[in-house]
Structure 1
Amino acid sequence: MRSLIRFFQRLCAAVVRVCRLVPMLPVVVIAAIPLAALGQWRPWDAALAGQPSAASASSIAIPVLGDPGVGQWLVIVLVLIIVTDTIRGMIDDIRNGQVGVDLLAVMAMLSTVAVHEYWASWAVTLMITSGEAIEEYAQSKAEHSLTALVKAAPQTAHVVTLPGVGRGKIQDDAANDGFRHTSSAQSATAQRFATVPVAQVQPGDVLMVLPGEIVPVDGELLSGEATLDLSAINGEPVPRTVFAGARVMSGAVNGSAALTMRATQPAAESQYQRILQLVESAQESRPAVVKTADRLAVPFTVLSLVIAGVAWAVSGIPTRFAQVLVLATPCPLLIAAPVAYIAGTSRLAAAGVLIKTQDVLENLGRVTQVFFDKTGTLTVKQPQVVRVEMLPGVETQLNEDHVLMMAGVVEGYSVHILSKGIAKAGTEAMARLRARFAAGQRDCPEPEASMPGHGRDYPVVKSIKETAGKGVSGEVNGHMVRVGRLSFAAAADGAADSHRAETDVDSLGRLRAQHPLGAGKARNSADLRTRFGMLQPDEMASYVSVDGRLIARIVLRDVPRANAKAALAALHGLGISKLTMLTGDKRASAEIIAREVGIDEVHAELFPEDKVDAVAAQGGFGDRPVTMMVGDGVNDAPVLAAADLGVAITDGTSTAASESAQVVIMNDDITAVPRAIAIARRTKRIMLQAVVAGLALAVIGMIAAAFNLIPVVIGAFLQEGIDVVSILWALTAVLDRD
Structure 2
Amino acid sequence: MNKDWLNPALLGLTLLALLAGGGARWLDQPAVAAGLWNLSALLVAAVLLVEIVQRLLRREVGVDLIALLSIGAAVLLEQALVAAVIAIMLASGRTLEYFTAQRAERELKQLINRAPRFATRLDSGQLVQIPVEQVAVGDQLLLRMGEVVPVDSVLLSAVAILDESALSGESLPVTLHAGASIRSGGVNVGDPLQLRASQTAERSTYAGIVRMAQAASQSRAPFARLADRYALALVPLTLLLGGLAWLLSGDPLRALAVLVVATPCPLILAVPVAIMSGISRCARRGILVKDGATLEALAGVEVLFLDKTGTLTSGHASVQSVESSGRYPQEQLLQLTASLAQASPHPIAAAIVSAAVNAGLRLSAPAQVQEQPGAGLSGTIDGHLVKLGAHHFIAGQQPAAEWDAAVLRRMDYQACSGSFIGIDGVMAGAVLFADPLRLESPYALRRLRQAGIRKVVMLTGDRLETAQMIGLAAGVDEIRAGLDPAAKVAAVQQGRQFGRTLMVGDGINDAPALAVADVGIALGASGATASSEAAGVVLLVDRLDRVAEALQIARRSRRIAEQGVLVGMGLSLLAMLVAALGYLPALSGAILQEVIDVAVIFNALRALGAGRNASTAEPLQGTSIDQLKHEHADLARVLEAVHNLASQLASYSPAQARSELQGLLEQLQTHLVPHEQNDESQLYPLLTTYLHGDDPLAAMSHTHREIFRLTHLLARMHADLASSRSSLTLEEIQRVLLRLDTVLTLHFEQENELYHNLDRR
Range of TM-score over shorter length: 0.5 to 0.7
Distance 1:287 1:562 in 2: 35
In structure 1, the residue matched to 2:97 is 135
Which one of the candidate residues 557, 564, 571 is aligned to 1:683? 557
Is the partner of 2:456 in helix, strand or coil? strand
> How far, CA to CA, are the matches of 1:201 and 1:384 in structure 2?
33
* Correspondent of 1:31 among 14, 17, 21: 17
- Distance in 2 between residues matched to 1:301 and 1:123, nearest whole Å: 21
Q: How large is the Cα RMSD of the aligned pairs? A: 3.4
Task: Indicate if the aligned counterparts of 1:100 and 1:334 stay in contact, CA closer than 8 A.
Answer: no
Given the alignment, which residue of 73, 79, 87 partners 1:117? 79
* 2:464 is equivalent to residue 587 of structure 1: yes
Match of 1:571 among 444, 448, 459: 448
Partner residue in 2 for 1:715? 589
**Matched AA of 2:44:** I
* Structure 2 equivalent of residue 103 of structure 1: 65
Q: 1:121 to 1:570 in 2, by over 3 A?
A: same
The match for 1:247 is 181
TM-superposed CA distance for 1:540, in Å, is 7.8
Give the match for residue 436 of structure 2. 559
Q: CA deviation at 1:607?
A: 2.2
Note if 1:75 corresponds to 2:75: no
Residue 142 of structure 1 and its aligned partner are, at CA, apart by 1.0
CA displacement, residues 233-268 of structure 1 (integer Å, 9 cap, x when unaligned): 222332222233332222110122111223333322
Write out aligned runs for 1:203-214 (5 A): 203-214=137-148
TM-score w.r.t. structure 2 length? 0.65
Q: 1:265 to 1:648 in 2, by over 3 A?
A: same
Counterparts of 2:570 and 2:515 in 1: how far apart (Å)?
A: 41
Q: CA deviation at 1:696?
A: 0.9
Which runs of no fewer than 5 residues in structure 2 stay unpaired?
Answer: 322-337, 365-401, 419-431, 615-761
Q: CA deviation at 1:536?
A: 2.1
Q: Is the 8 A contact 1:157 1:195 kept in 2?
A: yes
Q: Work out the number of aligned pairs and report it.
A: 534
> Which runs of 4 or more aligned residues in structure 1 lie more than 4 Å from their structure 2 counterparts after TM superposition?
17-21, 40-43, 383-387, 414-424, 463-469
Query: What is the SS of the residue equivalent to 2:176?
Result: strand
User: Which residue pairs with 1:670 in the alignment?
Assistant: 544
Distance in 2, Cα, partners of 1:534 & 1:121: 78
Q: What is the aligned counterpart of 1:597 among 474, 491, 503?
A: 474
Deviation at 1:652, TM superposition (A): 4.1
1:294 aligns with 2:212: no
3-state SS of 1:293 partner: helix
Conserved in 1, the CA contact under 8 Å of 2:287 and 2:539?
yes
Task: Provide the C-alpha distance between the structure 2 equivalents of 1:562 and 1:702, rounded to a whole number of angstroms.
Answer: 56
| Shift in alpha-carbon separation, 1:422–1:566, aligned structure 2, 3 A | farther
Counterpart among 364, 368, 390 of residue 302 in structure 2: 368
DSSP-derived class of the 1:736 partner: coil
Higher RCO, 1 vs 2 (CA within 8 Å, ≥6 residues apart): 1
Match of 1:342 in 2: 276
Instruction: Give the Cα–Cα distance (whole angstroms) in 2 for the partners of residues 418 and 88 of structure 1.
Output: 59
Residues 378-429 of structure 1: per-residue CA shift (max 9 Å, x gap)? 0112347999xxxxxxxxxxxxxxxxxxxxxxx9xx99969979999xxxxx
CA distance in 2, matches of 1:367, 1:419: 34
Matches within 5 A, 1:150-169: 150-161=112-123, 163=124, 165=125
SS at 1:630's partner residue? strand
- 1:658 equivalent to 2:592? Answer no
Q: Which amino acid aligns with 1:104?
A: I
Cα deviation, 1:523-573, whole Å, max 9, x if unaligned, reads: xxx9xx9xxx998241489xxxxxxxxxxxxx9743210010011111222
Cα displacement string for residues 460-496 of structure 1 (whole angstroms, at most 9, x for unaligned residues): xxx9644999xxxxxxxxxxxxxxxxxxxxxxxxxxx
Quote the sequence identity (%): 36
Given that residues 385 and 422 in structure 1 are in contact (C-alpha distance below 8 angstroms), is that contact kept between their aligned partners in structure 2?
no
Is the counterpart of residue 626 in structure 1 residue 626 in structure 2?
no
AA in 2 matched with 1:604: A
In 1, Cα distance between equivalents of 2:4 and 2:21 = 23
Give matches, 1:230-241, under 5 Å: 230-241=164-175
For residue 23 of structure 1, give the secondary structure of its aligned residue in structure 2.
Answer: helix
Equivalent residue for 2:633? none
Return closer, same or farther for 1:147/1:37 CA change in 2, 3 Å cut-off. same
Taking the aligned partners of 2:543 and 2:449, their CA distance within structure 1 comes to 18
Q: Aligned AA for 2:180? A: A
Q: Find the residue that maps to 2:70 and give its secondary structure.
A: helix
Residue equivalent to 1:694: 568
DSSP 3-state at the match of 2:175: strand
Q: Does the aligned pair in 2 maintain the 1:19–1:26 contact within 8 Å? A: no
Q: Secondary structure at the match of 1:113?
A: helix
Partners of 1:147 and 1:159 in 2: CA distance? 27
How many angstroms apart in 2 are the aligned matches of 1:562 and 1:418? 23
The 5 A counterparts of 1:482-493 are none
Q: Work out the CA distance in 2 between the residues paired with 1:325 and 1:589.
A: 67
Deviation string 1:109-162 (CA, Å, 9 cap, x unpaired) is: 12222222222111111111111110111101111211111121112222334x
Kindly report which structure 2 residues correspond to 1:122-521, keeping only aligned pairs within 5 A, or say none. 122-161=84-123, 163=124, 165=125, 192-383=126-317, 465-466=360-361
Structure 1 residues 586, 535: CA separation in 2 closer, same or farther (over 3 Å shift)? closer
Partner of residue 614, structure 1: 491
Are residues 539 and 30 of structure 1, via their aligned partners in 2, closer, same or farther at CA, if it must alter by over 3 Å?
closer
Change (3 A) 1:386 1:571: farther
Distance 1:116 1:419, change over 3 A: closer
Displacement of 1:285 in angstroms is: 2.5
TM-score by length of 1: 0.67
Return the alpha-carbon distance in structure 2 between the equivalents of residues 262 and 732 of structure 1.
44
> Larger Rg: 1 or 2?
1
Q: Kindly state the Cα deviation for residue 207 of structure 1 after the two structures are TM-superposed.
A: 2.2
SS in 2 for 1:194: strand
Q: Which residue of 2 aligns with 1:22?
A: 8
Which runs of structure 2 are paired with 1:53-72 in the superposition (5 Å)?
69-72=31-34
1:366, 1:535 → 2: CA distance? 37
CA separation in 1, counterparts of 2:572 and 2:207?
Answer: 43
Are the counterparts in 2 of residues 221 and 260 from structure 1 also a CA contact under 8 Å?
Answer: yes
Q: 1:244 to 1:653 in 2, by over 3 A?
A: farther
Bigger shift: 361-370 or 113-122?
113-122
C-alpha separation in 1, matches of 2:353 and 2:181:
23
Query: In the alignment, residue 73 of structure 2 is paired with which amino acid?
Result: S
The amino acid across from 2:104 in the alignment is A
Check the 8 A contact 1:41/1:71 in 2, yes or no. no
Distance between the aligned counterparts of 2:174 and 2:352, measured in 1?
A: 19
User: How far has the Cα of 1:90 moved from its partner?
Assistant: 0.6
Give the 3 Å change call, closer, same or farther, for CA 422–639 of structure 1 in structure 2: closer
- The structure whose residues are more often helix, as a share, is 2
